[in-house]
Amino acid sequence: MTAGGRASSEGTKFHASVATVVYVSILAKTPLTWFGPTARLPIAVRAETGGGGDDLEIEFDPASVAEVQARHQMNGGEKFTALLDAIAARTRGKSPSPIALVAGRHTSSALVFTGIAKDLDGLRAGVDEARLAPPVTGMLADPEKRRVLEHLFVVDVDFDRSPSPERENALEKLRRRLVDESRAEEAWAVLFEDAVDLCATGSRRTESELVDRLAYRGIHLREETPDEAARAELDSIRTRQLEEHYPELAAVGLQRVVGDLETRGGGAKVRAVGLRFLAHALLTLKRVDEAREAARRATELDPDSADTHATEPPWVSWRLG
């Protein structure tokens, strides 16, 4: 096999592995955190779309889409410049969807994950552009490329070494959804095999189709408890927004999750967790009366939560008096 053939084979495996992780997020109903601090629940995925990201298009609930460019090997020079040129050409005249550049950590340049990723975050945050560095600064004069850069997120993953932390994390999510948890590796293999086909044919997959493919091999998912998806979303808001100091985003997301839980009568403990997180976000925003009311409701639902601030991580240590 030629060197090019090996690279192509590894790239195909990497692309399919990225799709498999999306599959697991769909099945486990856990938010994807590839597109900035706002994590959303994926409900379907399509390959080879011809859009900005091109490799994968992910559909979310609430209704929205984002795209993925999966690169087994990426550098911060010629390859990144060529990628931006290609995305800008595909999205010319259109507002691009969020795009995740999902790159192999051990086969890509460190500049991608440090300098470029940092500059993209800075561009979105409106920092002084004189603080940004090449190659990002060299593209800002082109309005089409600037628009792409503003919507581009760098995700570093490790599918090329064993054990891979990203793969192990996805496996754990999958394991919790299976009737027979011992078949998680087998389930991953089935999903990976299907993802190879997805990427080769440009197909689309939904949750029900993935469930059917596993069931055909005798692998079944257990019934999901009503609060599991809410717990996963609350955990994502905690780690991606509260701990990263995005209280405005957190407050909006938490109000939606708490409202949904109250509408369908979610469990008292998960509702209390959501309200405690909401109280923290509101207090950070100096909306003290609203924060106090959320904390009061949390304590009514779960009296034990009144003392949890003593054992929580520092970011959730709040007192309302």
CB 163 within 8 A of CB 44: no
| 76 or 36, which is more confident | 76
pLDDT of residue 305: 62
How far is it, in rounded angstroms, from Cα 155 to Cα 105? 9
Which residues share a beta bridge with 205? Answer: 45
Pick the closest to residue 58 from 168, 198, 194 (CA basis): 198
User: DSSP assignment, residue 64?
Assistant: E
pLDDT-derived band at 319 (thresholds 50, 70, 90) equals very low
Whether the pLDDT of residue 190 is over 90: the answer is yes
Using one digit for the tens of pLDDT, what is the confidence trace for 45-61?
A: 999 888 888 899 999 98
Question: For residue 310, which phi and psi values (nearest 5 degrees)?
Answer: -70, -25
Residues of the chain with pLDDT > 70, as a percent, come to 92
135: pLDDT confidence band, cut at 50, 70 and 90? Answer: very high
Is the Cβ–Cβ distance between 220 and 214 less than 8 Å?
yes
CA 94 distance to own-chain centroid: 24
The answer on pLDDT for 271 being more than 80 is yes
The predicted structure's pLDDT at residue 85: 94
Amino acid found at 183: R
Please tell me the distance from the alpha carbon of residue 148 to that of residue 96, in angstroms, as a whole number.
7
- Please list the residues that pair with 154 across neighbouring strands: 101
pLDDT score recorded for residue 244: 78
Amino acid identity of residue 107, one-letter, is T
- Confirm if 112 and 75 have CB atoms less than 8 A apart: yes
CA atoms of 34 and 156, how far apart (whole Å): 10
* Rounded Cα–Cα distance for residues 35 and 38 (Å): 7
